[in-house]
Amino acid sequence: MRKVMTTNVSELNTLEFDKDGHLANLDDWTPEIAQELAYQEDVGELNDRHWVVINYIRNEFIEKGDAPSIRKLTKESGVSTKELYQLFPKGPAKKAAKVAGLPKPKGCI
């Protein structure tokens, strides 16, 4: 069941997205927008483990200018590859980046 969000879903309609459907402006991102994006990506309700991934990749992006590879993410975040695919099915790096308000990672199709 989808919970009611404090953010107005129509707020997503006022945001700018790139050609891949990722937020165009990193500063537009909020946790509430992340949840709406997660629903759109069929990720569902975000839990603590989702936030481990989201916070890790956001910090890496801010520090280094690109989202980490899946290998680095699983090695350094404490989230296994299997769990990552469970949290963000069918393209975990791309979906996690999208929910985190980041551009599509380099190397993602």
Cα radius of gyration rounded to whole Å, the chain:
13
Active site residue 45: no
Instruction: Say what the pTM is.
Output: 0.85
Among 18, 22, 35, 34, smallest CA distance to 67 is for 22
Tell me, which fold does domain 16-99 have in CATH? Arc Repressor Mutant, subunit A (1.10.10)
Catalytic: which of 15, 48, 108, 109? 108
- Residue 102 corresponds to which tokens in the numbers above? 């980041």
Tens of pLDDT, residues 21-52: 899 998 999 999 999 999 999 999 999 999 99
What tens digit of pLDDT does each residue of 47-69 get? Answer: 999 999 999 999 999 999 988 88
| DSSP-assigned states of every residue in 45-88 | S--HHHHHHHHHHHHHHHHHSSPPPHHHHHHHHS--HHHHHHHS
Beta bridge partners, 23, equal 17
